[in-house]
Amino acid sequence: MPADYKAELVGVLGQPVAENPTGAMQEAAFAAAGLNWRYLTMEVPPAQLARAVEGLRALGFRGFNLTIPHKVAVMPYLDDVAAEARMIGAVNTVRREGDRFIGENTDGKGFLRGLRLDAGVDPRGKRVVVLGAGGAARAIATEIGLAEAGEITVVNRSEARGRGMTEDLRRNLACPIRLLPWNGTYMVPEGIDILVNATSIGLFPDVHSMPAVDLAHASAGMLVCDAVFNPPETRLLAAARERGLPTLDGLSMLVYQGVIGFEIWTGRTAPEQVMKAALREALTGGA
């Protein structure tokens, strides 16, 4: 049988993307699974997004990821968007069906899987605070709500953006949704079960920043989660550990959304441990 040198292609579109480690994780997974697939990290400015998507279509890409600033802007250029991604209002993963590009959102699903598997916490009936009202916050809050959280409180500095997010959540979720203004320092009240930083505060290179939150009155056992994955040990998580609170870092969400993306694209079970090791190695040098 003649050799087949044609690689299947996937990748990520964003700006900036030079420090996005997803390629290292997915390439390791493809190698472990014996798949001749390649993951390309592609810098695409907003003005070129439509042309980039059509280029991927013409080149036969099997799918791709979106990161900042394309998760919402890409939606008009796709052939369809899955119901949950439409509910969230953002797409981070695209799969190919024939000649059609279908938008999905694996961010919230990745967070939820990490919450259950890595932190051992089921959000059902829990009181949750989500900091932020961007794409990650929407995805996380939506999936937590669909998992029957007891109550979700959105804390955001922009009242208009926060109101838009909470109104959308109320249309789609059964649990109570509250909005609180984030003026100055937010003091986490007693009785909260899960606190999630879904902002980019603390993301490299701004590693010395921390969301303006006060954990002094947090209940013992409150889980503190950070969607920031670089660095894995953010100042928020360090502050939580100093108080003896359990934590869940952003590597968990990133690896599990990648696991789900791998499975969507390839139809294979993802090598989760390989992906976790590759991601940690890429971000921490194995430390």
The catalytic residue positions are 71
State in Å, rounded, how far the first CA of the chain is from the last one: 44
Q: Side chain identity at 155, as an amino acid letter?
A: V
Establish how many alpha carbons lie within 13 A of residue 7's alpha carbon, considering only the half-sphere containing its beta carbon: 12
Kindly state the tokens that stand for 35: 């798949």
